[in-house]
Amino acid sequence: MATIRDVAKHAGVSVATVSRVINETGYVHEDTRKKVETAIKELHYTPNEVARSLYKRKSRLIGLLLPDITNPFFPELARGVEDEMQENDFRIIFGNSDENMKKEKEYIQTFVQNNVVGVIASTNHPDTDTYRKMNIPVVFLDRTADNRPSVFADGREGGRIAAHEMIARGSRQITVMQGPKHIRPAQDRYQGAVDVLSKEGIPFNVIMTSSFSFTEAGTWAKELFEQHPYTDGVIASNDIVATAVLHEALRLGKKVPEDVQIIGFDDIPLSSLLTPSLTTIRQPAYDMGRAAAQLLMQLIENENIDHKTIQMPVTFTERDTTRKVDQHG
Amino acid sequence: MATIRDVAKHAGVSVATVSRVINETGYVHEDTRKKVETAIKELHYTPNEVARSLYKRKSRLIGLLLPDITNPFFPELARGVEDEMQENDFRIIFGNSDENMKKEKEYIQTFVQNNVVGVIASTNHPDTDTYRKMNIPVVFLDRTADNRPSVFADGREGGRIAAHEMIARGSRQITVMQGPKHIRPAQDRYQGAVDVLSKEGIPFNVIMTSSFSFTEAGTWAKELFEQHPYTDGVIASNDIVATAVLHEALRLGKKVPEDVQIIGFDDIPLSSLLTPSLTTIRQPAYDMGRAAAQLLMQLIENENIDHKTIQMPVTFTERDTTRKVDQHG
């Protein structure tokens, strides 16, 4: 591959001159510029991004940290971030934190060492020094913290909607599945549901869960119907868990939604293809990814930004694991 | 943040000396080394990876190009690659090609411009100059081409197994769903199924599909039962399509597996949570990702490698969308 030295030699100018042409810094005579541009074309020279980033102190790389790309909610987020970044010529260094602080810190450090110009992170620890001491922009995604730049959905409202719709459709023996303690959005949606159920005076049971893993979801679904066999409504912590609950309910010979209603959270792509298809509280994951990318680019460009915390709406997505409102009389 | 100049000043030595200590190149007196190391600690200096990569001509970055992370097969692959790379201190620049050659080429170019030391690509175009002219190692993942480094599953054998199992379980009006024409593994599995059905003299219908998208999958499932209402066995192009076929069959009041048997391909995480749970041909996606990462690191280290093309086995994963062998008499 041709180097900047080859170009300089071919054009009969100094390396510094070629650099000035490439980086558009300083005056270069028009004839000289043309010579350099011709040499670049003839040698198929591609400026080395690393050298440019050192020189300009700006790369076109951003870091993206997610908890776990194999949780079907996150590929949608990642895709939103990537599409927006790709259209704007940014590239993404990507890592999974597994909600593990040590791994998270290592990733963030190496992002910085690789000269990323900004970071998008779904972290449970926005308040640690890892983020506070960074001198490049950070946008929190699917998370938020004291007015710092962030894009997230209204989880508490989602929980409230789930509880209201469950009550409106006639369930009176409701079980709420509480997501992992250390995951803030999971606690928000849990709290929203509990607020409404308490206020309305509807008794409810709680099943605690400690992850969103596919294999464990089945275990909790079993536990739910063993501990609370008369459950007639399940507010699940996300769509994976809801899918496991649906599977277990049908295995036990229960009719859904006649005997048990189920409401999930997220609206992952497979939810509409389940049978019965899953009623859920939709988070606009793809759009959240896009919005986070846009916000980060504005921060990188030092644009004046009015709204640094962007809360996206959640929507009740009615499908077939809940009864129609007029059905329960 | 402290720079290498700050460290040099603090230690009372030259920048070149600090560089020699950091990069372990050339002789540095023990006392001087200690001074530099102390300064590095006191200033919390982190060597800039970009500067190091320029100096050493080696970064710790690799490029990963996948068709689309929102297809649930790929997060497993990506996770396998990332876990292996993370354990070995490599970082990943990631992109989705959408099976679009222009986008793919742009990604590969920017990977190279960012000084990646190797690339893992799921591409339909391994034979283009984009890959032929690269002077860093490339491993093809979920794809292969003339003995070039690659990790892939035995799709043709997968198709053969699906057809054999379908026949053994009594289906005689089989519909095979042919995956997108330009995706080689989809054609391999299709061809494998067709080989066996033809050889066994079992007539079959074909439904052509042009993507693996969730929304289109539903359309093809409808088309299948409209065009071939007497279908009693479906060999689907992957698990997403199989899920849509299951959904449509149940919607039409068909019993699965009594009236229609369904076999998918991939074994994505949700397949075991469907009701009935999906019988499928499993590809070891996560392990394929790990293997590709290992192979790439060996190539980067110039190790002598005996097996540069790694074909992983597929396995018949029997669940509840197929009848038991002894049930059909």
C-alpha span between A94 and A104 (Å, rounded): 11
B98-102 average pLDDT score:
91
| Residue scoring higher pLDDT (A325 or B233) | B233
List pLDDT tens digits, range B300-316: 988 778 779 999 999 99
- Are β-strands B61-66 and B118-121 bridged in parallel, bridged antiparallel, or unpaired? parallel
In our burial notation (b when 16+ CB lie closer than 10 A, e otherwise), range B267-300 reads: bbbbbbbbbbbbbbbbbbbbebbbbbbbbbbbbb
pLDDT at B47 over 60: yes
- Are β-strands A91-96 and B174-178 bridged in parallel, bridged antiparallel, or unpaired? unpaired
Question: What is the residue extent of each domain of chain A?
Answer: 4-56, 61-153+288-314, 155-284+316-327
- Residue B315 corresponds to which tokens in the numbers above? 């396995």
Does domain B155-284+316-327 correspond to CATH entry 3.40.50.2300? yes
Task: Report the percent of chain B where pLDDT is more than 70.
Answer: 94
Q: What is the pLDDT of residue B51?
A: 60
Residues of B in contact with A218 (CB under 8 A): 273
Nearest to B314 by CA among B73, B63, B51: B73
- CB-based contact A250 B217, cutoff 8 Å: no
Lowest mean pLDDT among A28-42, A103-117, A170-184: A28-42
- CB-based contact A115 B251, cutoff 8 Å: no
pLDDT at B37 over 90: no
Task: Report the percent of chain A where pLDDT is more than 70.
Answer: 94
- Residue B143 corresponds to which tokens in the numbers above? 């794809």
Q: Which CATH architecture has domain A61-153+288-314?
A: 3-Layer(aba) Sandwich (3.40)
Q: What is the pLDDT of residue B52?
A: 56
- Outline where DSSP puts E strands in B1-157: 61-66, 91-96, 118-121, 138-141, 150-153
Measured between CA atoms, how close is A93 to chain B, in angstroms?
Answer: 4
pLDDT at B238 over 70: yes
Residues of A in contact with B238 (CB under 8 A): none
pLDDT at A25 over 90: no
Q: How many residues does chain B have?
A: 329
Q: Which CATH architecture has domain B4-56?
A: Orthogonal Bundle (1.10)
C-alpha span between B22 and A46 (Å, rounded): 29
Residues of B in contact with A65 (CB under 8 A): none
B247-262 average pLDDT score:
97
| Residue scoring higher pLDDT (A86 or B1) | A86
Residue B95: pLDDT band with limits 50, 70, 90 = very high
Nearest to B153 by CA among B268, B269, B293, B285: B285
Task: Report the percent of chain B where pLDDT is more than 90.
Answer: 69
Confirm if A123 and A143 have CB atoms less than 8 A apart: yes
The phi and psi torsions of A38 (rounded to 5 degrees) equal -65, -45
Residues of A in contact with B269 (CB under 8 A): 70, 72, 214
C-alpha span between B243 and A244 (Å, rounded): 15
Nearest to A274 by CA among A292, A257, A287, A291: A257
pLDDT at B57 over 60: no
Q: What is the pLDDT of residue A53?
A: 54
List pLDDT tens digits, range B4-26: 888 889 999 988 888 878 776 67
Task: Report the percent of chain A where pLDDT is more than 90.
Answer: 69
pLDDT at B1 over 70: no
Instruction: Name the helix (H) or strand (E) containing B309.
Output: strand B309-312
State chain A's mean pLDDT as an integer: 91
State chain B's mean pLDDT as an integer: 91
Q: What is the pLDDT of residue B155?
A: 95
- CB-based contact B273 A247, cutoff 8 Å: yes
Q: Is B4 helix (H, G, I), strand (E, B) or coil?
A: helix
Among B60, B94, B272, the residue with its CB nearest the CB of A92 is: B94
| Residue scoring higher pLDDT (A198 or B307) | A198
List pLDDT tens digits, range A269-302: 999 999 999 999 999 999 999 999 999 999 998 8
Q: What is the pLDDT of residue A117?
A: 95
Residues of A in contact with B243 (CB under 8 A): 270, 273-274
Measured between CA atoms, how close is B201 to chain A, in angstroms?
Answer: 34
B190-206 average pLDDT score:
97
Q: Are the folds of B4-56 and B155-284+316-327 the same?
A: no
| Residue scoring higher pLDDT (B281 or B126) | B281
The phi and psi torsions of A225 (rounded to 5 degrees) equal -80, -20
Q: Is B302 helix (H, G, I), strand (E, B) or coil?
A: coil
B188-211 average pLDDT score:
96
Measured between CA atoms, how close is B311 to chain A, in angstroms?
Answer: 23
Residue A329: pLDDT band with limits 50, 70, 90 = very low
List pLDDT tens digits, range A91-150: 999 999 998 999 999 999 999 989 899 999 999 888 888 898 888 999 999 988 878 999
Among B78, B113, B214, the residue with its CB nearest the CB of A269 is: B214
CA-CA distances (angstroms) from residue A256 to A253, A275, B109, B258?
Answer: 9, 10, 52, 21
Q: What is the pLDDT of residue B48?
A: 67
Residue B327: pLDDT band with limits 50, 70, 90 = low
Q: What is the pLDDT of residue A255?
A: 97
C-alpha span between A112 and A118 (Å, rounded): 9
Residue B129: pLDDT band with limits 50, 70, 90 = confident
Instruction: Name the helix (H) or strand (E) containing B84.
Output: helix B73-87
Q: Which CATH architecture has domain B61-153+285-314?
A: 3-Layer(aba) Sandwich (3.40)
Q: Which residue of B has its CA nearest to A243?
A: B273
Our CA angle for A268, A269, A272, nearest 5°, is 100
- Taking the CA of residue B309 as centre, how many other CA atoms within 13 Å lie in the half-sphere pointing to its CB? 8
| Residue scoring higher pLDDT (B213 or A150) | A150
Measured between CA atoms, how close is B125 to chain A, in angstroms?
Answer: 21
Q: Is B267 left (phi over 0), alpha (psi -120 to 50) or beta?
A: left
C-alpha span between A237 and A301 (Å, rounded): 38
C-alpha span between B57 and A3 (Å, rounded): 13
- Outline where DSSP puts E strands in B86-169: 91-96, 118-121, 138-141, 150-153
B109-116 average pLDDT score:
91
Measured between CA atoms, how close is B104 to chain A, in angstroms?
Answer: 11
CA-CA distances (angstroms) from residue A307 to A83, A138, A240, B204?
Answer: 22, 15, 32, 58
List pLDDT tens digits, range A221-262: 999 999 999 999 999 999 999 999 999 999 999 999 999 999
C-alpha span between B32 and B17 (Å, rounded): 8
Lowest mean pLDDT among A26-40, A195-209, A297-311, B20-34: B20-34
